[in-house]
């Protein structure tokens, strides 16, 4: 073992920041104080990142979205506006993290899960991981994300699905908005398990798993078939009474939380020793490392309930290595 600046790394240059546990509300005996601290503390469930994710759709709906009345027919101007806006949002988030962590290397490998850096490799399109990731994220990811959003607006504009008025149902409106994140997390687990079904993995999901040493652009780097499945969560808003704002949040959460969860760093250092905790997702990093665990998240701990939970402990590492040796030789 070798000591790093803020960590201890193994012989492969891997750093384990902490032991992962399910959300306190899913642990027994229930500890109300721990649940409240997890929910409202900093860092915690809501702060900082989910709170930020909740603000993005508000700005998008009120300032960056054409009037719904224009969307009764598919026209190139407003459709192109949605696509270009989403490309810009992804560049802002994924590009911003990439600039800080991987171009400027502002904090070096400080709080980085792997000491290796993404780079050239023949398994990636264009022979380079970042170029490959940017291509699939924008060309396929933003296009399919925007297509789901465009169809959703068209359905709302033509009255084909119910329109939730926040004035008439303010409590339901707010509760549904707050529920988008856990709904997304549950959908991610289920769709992710589906994508690990051997035929779908070979046809599509293999492309995402080329990224073992993940970076911000890895998050939405997927095969078009996977993007079609990944964004299906928005269909919920075609069925339940909803508002375009809920649908925007659902889609943006899927698209923009992906770079955050894949940036590969436990902490974002702002200046000196100041940091924003939880800038990435070690739980999901372990999925990219081992493939056959941690399909969802810890807020809705379906992995714990279905036996695919890897907590990052030495014991869990050994269990996964033994399992992979038995299966793959």
Tell me, yes or no, whether 27 lies in a domain. Answer: no
The helix or strand, by DSSP H or E, that contains position 267, with its residue range, turns out to be: strand 267-271
Taking the C-alpha atoms of residue 241 and residue 246, their distance in angstroms, rounded to an integer, is 10
pLDDT of 40 reads 95
The arithmetic mean of pLDDT across residues 21-25, rounded, is: 96
Based on the fold, state whether residues 98 and 207 are members of the same structural domain.
yes
The residue among 280, 301, 318 that closes a domain is 280
Based on the fold, state whether residues 285 and 273 are members of the same structural domain.
no
Based on the fold, state whether residues 249 and 319 are members of the same structural domain.
no
Identify the bridge partners of residue 120 per DSSP, sorted by sequence position.
128
Tell me, yes or no, whether 13 lies in a domain. Answer: no
CA distance readout (Å), 253 to 182, 264, 291: 11, 18, 23
pLDDT of 10 reads 78
Based on the fold, state whether residues 180 and 42 are members of the same structural domain.
yes
The arithmetic mean of pLDDT across residues 163-168, rounded, is: 96
For 111-151, the pLDDT digits (tens) are 999 999 999 999 999 999 999 999 999 999 999 999 999 99
Taking the C-alpha atoms of residue 128 and residue 118, their distance in angstroms, rounded to an integer, is 8
Cβ–Cβ under 8 Å, residues 123 and 210: yes
Tell me, yes or no, whether 235 lies in a domain. Answer: yes
pLDDT of 11 reads 75
Based on the fold, state whether residues 98 and 201 are members of the same structural domain.
yes
Tell me, yes or no, whether 71 lies in a domain. Answer: yes
More confident site: 147 or 106:
147
Tell me, yes or no, whether 256 lies in a domain. Answer: yes
Tell me, yes or no, whether 200 lies in a domain. Answer: yes
Based on the fold, state whether residues 180 and 316 are members of the same structural domain.
no
Number of domains in the chain: 2
Based on the fold, state whether residues 41 and 120 are members of the same structural domain.
yes
Taking the C-alpha atoms of residue 88 and residue 99, their distance in angstroms, rounded to an integer, is 15
Residue located via tokens 């084909």: 160
Domain encompassing residue 328? 281-329
Closest residue by Cα to residue 297 from 179, 192, 141: 192
Cα-to-chain-centroid distance, residue 111: 19
- Tell me the Cα Rg of the chain: 20
- From its phi and psi, is residue 13 left (phi > 0), alpha (psi between -120 and 50) or beta? left
Based on the fold, state whether residues 175 and 324 are members of the same structural domain.
no
Based on the fold, state whether residues 92 and 164 are members of the same structural domain.
yes
Q: Poorest-confidence range of 54-68, 178-192, 244-258, 262-276? A: 262-276
Q: Is 233 exposed, middle or buried (0-12, 13-18, 19+ CB in 10 A)?
A: buried
- Give the number of C-alpha atoms closer than 13 A to the C-alpha of residue 291, restricted to the C-beta side: 18
Cβ–Cβ under 8 Å, residues 139 and 223: no
Based on the fold, state whether residues 133 and 242 are members of the same structural domain.
yes
Cβ–Cβ under 8 Å, residues 72 and 153: no
Query: DSSP 3-state assignment of 221?
Result: coil
Residue located via tokens 């707050």: 178
Taking the C-alpha atoms of residue 204 and residue 226, their distance in angstroms, rounded to an integer, is 6
Q: Which two tokens stand for residue 164?
A: 């939730």
Closest residue by Cα to residue 89 from 213, 251, 207: 251
Helices vs. strands in the chain: H and E counts, helices first: 14, 4
Based on the fold, state whether residues 296 and 191 are members of the same structural domain.
no
Based on the fold, state whether residues 206 and 296 are members of the same structural domain.
no
Tell me, yes or no, whether 8 lies in a domain. Answer: no
pLDDT of 273 reads 67
Q: At what angle do helices 170-195 and 49-63 cross, to 10 degrees?
A: 110
Q: Which two tokens stand for residue 149?
A: 């959003």
Tell me, yes or no, whether 258 lies in a domain. Answer: yes
Q: Give the torsion through C-alpha atoms of 84, 211, 255, 196, to 10 deg.
A: 130
pTM of the model: 0.94
């Amino acid at each position: 073992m070798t000591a790093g600046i803020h960590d201890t790394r193994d012989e492969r240059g891997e750093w384990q920041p902490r032991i992962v546990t399910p959300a306190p509300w899913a642990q027994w005996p229930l500890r109300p104080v721990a649940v409240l601290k997890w929910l409202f503390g900093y860092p915690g469930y809501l702060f900082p990142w989910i709170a930020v994710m909740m603000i993005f759709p508000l700005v998008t709906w009120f300032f960056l979205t054409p009037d719904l009345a224009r969307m009764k027919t598919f026209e190139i101007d407003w459709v192109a506006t949605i696509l270009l806006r989403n490309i810009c949002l992804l560049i802002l988030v994924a590009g911003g993290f990439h600039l800080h962590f991987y171009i400027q290397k502002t904090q070096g490998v400080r709080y980085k899960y792997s000491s290796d850096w993404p780079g050239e490799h023949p398994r990636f399109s264009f022979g380079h991981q970042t170029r490959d990731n940017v291509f699939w994220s924008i060309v396929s990811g933003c296009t399919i994300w925007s297509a789901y959003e465009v169809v959703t607006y068209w359905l709302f504009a033509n009255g084909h699905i119910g329109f939730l008025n926040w004035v008439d149902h303010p409590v339901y409106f707010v509760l549904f908005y707050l529920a988008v994140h856990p709904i997304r997390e549950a959908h991610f687990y289920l769709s992710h398990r589906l994508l690990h079904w051997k035929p779908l993995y070979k046809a599509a999901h293999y492309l995402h798993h080329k990224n073992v040493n993940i970076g911000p652009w890895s998050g939405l780097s997927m095969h078009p078939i996977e993007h079609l499945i990944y964004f299906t969560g928005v269909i919920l808003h075609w069925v339940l009474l909803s508002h375009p704002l809920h649908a925007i949040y659902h889609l943006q959460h899927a698209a923009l939380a992906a770079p955050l969860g894949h940036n590969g760093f436990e902490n974002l250092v702002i200046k000196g020793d100041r940091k924003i905790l939880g800038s990435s997702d070690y739980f999901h990093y372990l999925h990219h490392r081992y493939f056959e665990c941690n399909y969802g998240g810890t807020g809705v701990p379906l992995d714990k309930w279905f036996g695919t939970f890897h907590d990052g402990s030495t014991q869990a590492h050994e269990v996964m290595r033994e399992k992979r040796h038995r299966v793959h030789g």
